[in-house]
């Protein structure tokens, strides 16, 4: 359930060293769709190392893993969202939708104040 549009990007600071925002959410969705951290990184234009670092950080910062190894595939494995990872992703996407609805009127007003070229 992505945010209604890209005009509002929500990044929450869950702890001093644990921001969670659209990049991590998009990575989780791409891993769910591709079954692979490497493929998800490629899809998002992200290096494997960056994708792996983000995935590892999420797994270590939450009380339960958001990703787990998955069996199968051409090379015998990959990654999949855990049920907890699905809950984390859904909660973040709901935050996006609620925030967008809460600020829609003010965003529209700001857009109306822009100089048109």
Supply the pLDDT for residue 2.
Answer: 45
N-to-C CA span, the chain: 33
For residue 117, pLDDT over 80 is answered with no
What CATH number belongs to 12-112? 1.10.10.10
Q: Which two tokens stand for residue 56?
A: 């590892």
Please state the pTM of the whole predicted model: 0.85
For residue 6, pLDDT over 70 is answered with no
What Rg value do the Cα atoms of the chain yield, rounded? Answer: 17
- 109 Cβ neighbours under 8 A, 6+ residues apart: none
Reported as a single tens digit per residue, the pLDDT across 22-52 is 999 999 999 999 999 999 999 999 999 999 9
Q: What DSSP letter does each residue of 49-85 carry, written as one string?
A: HHHHHHHHHHHHHSSS-SEEEEE-STTSEEEEE-HHH
Supply the pLDDT for residue 75.
Answer: 61
Q: Where are the domains of the chain?
A: 12-112
């Amino acid at each position: 359930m992505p945010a209604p549009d890209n005009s509002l990007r929500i990044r929450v600071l869950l702890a001093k060293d644990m921001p969670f925002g659209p990049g991590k959410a998009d990575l989780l969705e791409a891993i769910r769709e591709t079954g692979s951290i490497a493929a998800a990184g490629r899809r998002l234009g992200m290096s494997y190392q960056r994708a792996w670092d983000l995935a590892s950080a999420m797994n270590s910062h939450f009380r339960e893993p958001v990703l787990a190894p998955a069996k199968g595939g051409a090379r015998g494995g990959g990654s999949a969202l855990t049920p907890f990872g699905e809950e984390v992703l859904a909660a973040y996407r709901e935050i996006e939708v609620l925030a967008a609805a809460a600020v829609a009127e003010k965003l529209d007003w700001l857009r109306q104040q822009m100089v048109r070229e």
